[in-house]
Amino acid sequence: MTRHRALFAAVVTVAATLTAAGPAAAGGALPVVSPTPQQISRTSADVPLPSSIALVTDSTTDPAAADLLTSLLHDHGVTTGRHGLTIRLGSTGRDVPEQAEGYALSVSRAGITIAGRDGAGQYYGVQTLRQLFVRSGHGWAVAGAAVRDWPDMALRGSIEGFYGPPWTTADRLRQLAFLGEVKANTYIYSAKDDTYLRARWRDPYPAGELGTLGQLVRSAAAHHVEFTYALSPGVSICFSSPSDVAAVEAKFQSVYDLGVRSFSLPFDDISYTKWNCDADQAAFGAPGQAAAGTAQVSLLNAITEKFVKTHDGVRPLQTVPTEYSDLKDSPYKTELREHLDPSVVVQWTGTDVVPPSVTTDEAAQVSTVYGRKVFLWDNYPVNDYEQSAGRLLLAPYAGREAGLSQYLNGIVANPMNQEAASEVAEFGAADFAWNDAGYSPARSWPRALARLAGGDARASAALTVFADLEHLAPTFGPTPWQPQAPVLAARAAEFWQRWTAGDRHAISDLRGYAVRIRDAAGVIRGGRVQSAFVTEAGPWLDATALWGEALVTRLDALAASSRGDHARASRLTARADDLVTRAQAVKTGNTNRWGVRQALVGDGVLDTLLVQLRERV
């Protein structure tokens, strides 16, 4: 990257108090910024963006932030030189928040200043500036605003921890860029398809695969994302074996040499009812909860002492305990609480593998049980389990209580096998982890869909209709924690209420929404929606078009029947029946470990409505 080294000529000028400005600063409502800033206010009218600006930097300027800012300006038709509106980017300024990754941003006719507590803070300040650009005639302006902002949680991002067909390198590179865009700083590489992480954890990577990992590590750094390498030796390790401990160190060293500075040793999805070697029986006693805890602690503490503390720049070691989804104390948890090095970060999935909610009381309890703040591995929107078979999970990030930042040191979302589609829920998770008190699913979700649509308003509206039909969020049990198609369900309920009361105009109102369902796929495919999402969602889009056409046709049949035109009603009924059959025949690709299934669209709501309409024709 190019480091800009011009003199940082002036101090940051950010309003001391960020209260609403008076009439002189009027400029309308500010653009919505995501994640929700801690403090933001309008302080001046919008500032027209000239064709050239003077970019002032110094030796503290973060290269990634400078490159992002330069690219952002060029995308808006602006060149950088020595003349024009001054933009200052660096770390100096009395109003910069004290918190790590914090930043202060000021926009006025006197210039634009972005100052970060550190390099990440500068980068995030530029990401906020990106969202303050507004149209002004045939050109652009920047909304006059002052921002002081910082994250509530230290760790924010995603964990690629699902089972089934893996992400491609292109998927992972896109994910890393996305995480940087939403001010998330963590990507945990725990890919179940990487045999060198689990089944063959002792074996060194072939040169080609090591090169690919290096590419991902470099991309992560370019977006201020920490690449965490998660090695899972629990399936075969002999905890008491010095050679196995050395093998863990050697594997970590191989990726440390690529630039990795964050490491995890997960022990999820393994058994503690048997040992992998006889020596562990002698060292730790009969297998069981306490013995497993003792063995795991011995390895985690050894790696902390022999690797983490002896290598420059390495972050605290992370782990996923074998008991990762409950609050109950146990001999296993007692071993970790009493003997695990206090620097080790412990992950937890909530009160279930896929919890319907996570509360502050639960987080406080589990922090007591493990003797430290925990790191939430949130199994949403992952769709690698049977209850999610045939589904995309596009509901908002919800059910997580404000105040969790007091008890959690971070949240990582476990995504779907479909990377681009996962960004909808991940957007909300990043928003929540940044500012949990200011988070609103109702505000964040439309922003996530608008981002996916590339700012295309018509495509955003179509995505909102489509996402409603993919709204169901299952758990491991029979009851989902987010309902299916709540908007369509409400419209259907209103329709039946009006129809029962004799209001025949109800058909036209519901038909209007049915047309939107029918046309959504075409609008999404024809708009500026992210191409990777369009490809991933292909089967569900195909099915949506058929289901929507069936609903339009069924309503037309009911209208014909109500007019006494029974011949037309019969023809339309037959056509709708055929469309339903075709919709039910649409299959997913082989993109999940549950294999090829029916592509489910609004199931339980849309199909039920079609049956009810047919009964009344």
pLDDT bin (cut points 50, 70, 90) of residue 193 is confident
Query: Do 227 and 115 share a domain, yes or no?
Result: no
pLDDT at 21: 35
SS (H, E, C) 28-51: CCCCCCCCCCCEEEECCCCEECCC
Average pLDDT over residues 182-188: 98
Q: What percent of the chain has pLDDT over 70?
A: 96
pLDDT at 84: 81
Q: Which tokens is 271 given?
A: 């058994």
pLDDT at 12: 30
Alpha-carbon span 198 to 191, nearest angstrom: 9
Alpha-carbon span 34 to 447, nearest angstrom: 8
pLDDT at 465 over 90: yes
Query: Do 282 and 196 share a domain, yes or no?
Result: yes
pLDDT at 317: 98
Query: Do 298 and 413 share a domain, yes or no?
Result: yes
**Residues 293, 299, 302, 308, CA torsion sign:** negative
Helices 457-468, 441-452: crossing angle, 10 deg rounding = 120
SS (H, E, C) 246-314: HHHHHHHHHHHCCCCCEEECCCCCCCCCCCCCHHHHHHHCCCCHHHHHHHHHHHHHHHHHHCHHHCCCC
pLDDT at 94: 72
**Closest of 102, 100, 80 to residue 149, by C-alpha:** 102
CATH number at residue 582: 1.20.58.460
Query: Do 122 and 61 share a domain, yes or no?
Result: yes
- Contact between 142 and 47 (Cβ < 8 Å): yes
Final residue of a structural domain among 410, 443, 476? 443
pLDDT bin (cut points 50, 70, 90) of residue 27 is low
**Cβ contacts of 114 within 8 Å, gap of 6 or more:** 65, 69, 87, 88, 89, 90, 103, 104, 105, 122, 125, 126, 129
Interval 515-555: pLDDT, tens? 999 999 999 999 999 999 999 999 999 999 999 999 999 99
Q: Give the CA angle between residues 28, 29, 34 to the nearest 5°.
A: 150
Query: Do 404 and 363 share a domain, yes or no?
Result: yes
**Cβ contacts of 565 within 8 Å, gap of 6 or more:** none
Tell me the Cα Rg of the chain: 27
Query: Do 561 and 424 share a domain, yes or no?
Result: no
Query: Do 144 and 224 share a domain, yes or no?
Result: no
Residue 36 resides in a domain? yes
Longest Cα separation, the chain: 85
Average pLDDT over residues 413-427: 98
Would you give the distance in Å from CA 162 to the centre of its chain?
14
Quickly tell me which residue has 């309920």 as its tokens.
493
Average pLDDT over residues 395-401: 98
pLDDT at 10: 30
pLDDT at 3: 37
pLDDT at 6 over 50: no
Alpha-carbon span 88 to 104, nearest angstrom: 11
CATH number at residue 27: 3.30.379.10
Residue 88 resides in a domain? yes
pLDDT at 11 over 50: no
Average pLDDT over residues 233-248: 98
Final residue of a structural domain among 149, 169, 201? 149
pLDDT at 576 over 80: yes
Query: Do 301 and 421 share a domain, yes or no?
Result: yes
pLDDT bin (cut points 50, 70, 90) of residue 2 is very low
Average pLDDT over residues 303-313: 98
- Contact between 44 and 76 (Cβ < 8 Å): no
SS (H, E, C) 600-612: CCCCCCHHHHHHH
**Cβ contacts of 333 within 8 Å, gap of 6 or more:** 293, 321, 323, 369, 370
Residue 418 resides in a domain? yes
Pairing of strands 345-348, 155-160: unpaired
pLDDT at 93: 73
Number of compact structural domains in the chain: 3
Average pLDDT over residues 294-306: 98
**Closest of 614, 488, 500, 612 to residue 561, by C-alpha:** 614
Interval 74-98: pLDDT, tens? 999 999 877 789 999 999 877 999 9
**Closest of 38, 68, 179, 192 to residue 129, by C-alpha:** 68
DSSP of 180-214: HHTT--EEEE--TT-TTTTTTTTSPPPHHHHHHHH
Residue 461 resides in a domain? no
Q: Say how many C-beta atoms besides its own lie within 10 A of residue 571's C-beta.
A: 15
pLDDT at 200 over 80: yes
Q: Say how many C-beta atoms besides its own lie within 10 A of residue 281's C-beta.
A: 14
B/e letters for 434-455, b = 16+ CB within 10 Å, e = fewer, are: bbbebbebeebbbbbbbbbbee
pLDDT at 103: 98
Alpha-carbon span 64 to 60, nearest angstrom: 12
Domain assignment of residue 249, given as a range: 155-443
**Closest of 58, 53, 62 to residue 8, by C-alpha:** 58
CATH number at residue 400: 3.20.20.80
How close are the terminal C-alpha atoms of the chain, in Å?
67
Average pLDDT over residues 359-387: 97
pLDDT bin (cut points 50, 70, 90) of residue 308 is very high
Query: Do 399 and 516 share a domain, yes or no?
Result: no
pLDDT bin (cut points 50, 70, 90) of residue 1 is very low
Residue 476 resides in a domain? no
Query: Do 161 and 145 share a domain, yes or no?
Result: no
Final residue of a structural domain among 149, 169, 199? 149
Q: Which tokens is 582 given?
A: 């075709």
Residue 462 resides in a domain? no
Residue 575 resides in a domain? yes
Higher pLDDT, 94 or 44: 44
Query: Do 128 and 163 share a domain, yes or no?
Result: no
Beta strands in 285-443 (DSSP E): 318-319, 345-348, 374-378, 408-413
B/e letters for 22-34, b = 16+ CB within 10 Å, e = fewer, are: eeebebeebeebb
pLDDT at 265: 98
Residue 459 resides in a domain? no
**Closest of 565, 556, 548, 542 to residue 614, by C-alpha:** 556
Query: Do 608 and 513 share a domain, yes or no?
Result: yes
Q: Work out the mean pLDDT of the chain and round it to a whole number.
A: 94
